[in-house]
């Protein structure tokens, strides 16, 4: 009898754990990326800063530049259509406002996909990742000072099977 009760309790706990693990997940944009620049066609009459008198511009592509994370956007279909988030003010303390941006990412068509795009300062390189199709909402947190300057923006997009209006 005790074995059956213990078995039932373990089954219930495992069942609850499975339900809660599928309800939400997060996507972390890399905090920085390394990129290379390469001069392809030197315009006539121009030169590069730092070019030695014995060298040429071909070695510029050997320099790796680290670019820091700058922001997140959510797109629909092959990152082409930017989605507008709902902005929610969470708190205001010492002139700093903390916000939450919430995107609706529920699929209404079979082949409709949503993507997260990670942007980096000083680079045109954008990283994209498909958002799991079971998700209905995604959100980020960020803060602004009293002048409207971004104080912090996280590199994490949180997603859930809850509808946007149910996100806390």
2-58 pLDDT per residue, tens? 655 545 554 445 444 444 445 889 999 999 999 887 777 888 988 776 555 445 555
Q: In 29-155, where do the E strands start and end? A: 32-36, 64-76, 81-82, 86-93, 96-104, 114-120, 126-130, 137-144, 150-153
Q: Give alpha helix (H) positions in 37-161.
A: none
Q: What is the total residue count of the chain?
A: 168
Higher pLDDT, 134 or 49: 134
Q: Are 137 and 100 in contact (CB under 8 A)?
A: no
Q: What is the pLDDT of residue 78?
A: 67
pTM of the model: 0.71
Instruction: Please enumerate, as own/partner, the contacts of 82-87 that have beta carbons within 8 Å and a separation of 24 or more.
Output: 83/114, 85/139, 86/164
Lowest pLDDT segment from 45-59, 102-116, 142-156: 45-59
For the segment 77-83, the average pLDDT, to the nearest whole number, is 78
Mean pLDDT over the full length of the chain: 80
């Amino acid at each position: 009898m005790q074995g059956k009760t213990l078995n039932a309790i373990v089954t219930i706990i495992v069942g609850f754990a499975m339900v809660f693990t599928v309800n939400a997940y997060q996507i972390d944009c890399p905090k920085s990326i390394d990129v290379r620049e390469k001069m392809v066609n030197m315009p006539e009459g121009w030169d590069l800063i730092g070019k030695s008198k014995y060298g040429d511009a071909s070695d510029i592509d050997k320099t790796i530049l680290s670019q820091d994370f700058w922001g997140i956007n959510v797109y629909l279909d092959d990152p082409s259509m930017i989605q507008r988030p709902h902005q929610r003010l969470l708190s205001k303390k010492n002139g700093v406002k903390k916000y939450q941006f919430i995107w609706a990412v529920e699929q209404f068509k079979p082949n409709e996909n949503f993507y997260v795009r990670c942007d980096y300062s000083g680079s045109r390189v954008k990283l994209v990742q498909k958002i799991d199709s079971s998700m209905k909402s995604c959100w980020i947190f960020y803060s602004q000072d009293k002048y409207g300057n971004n104080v912090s923006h996280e590199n994490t997009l949180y997603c859930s099977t809850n509808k946007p209006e149910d996100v806390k």
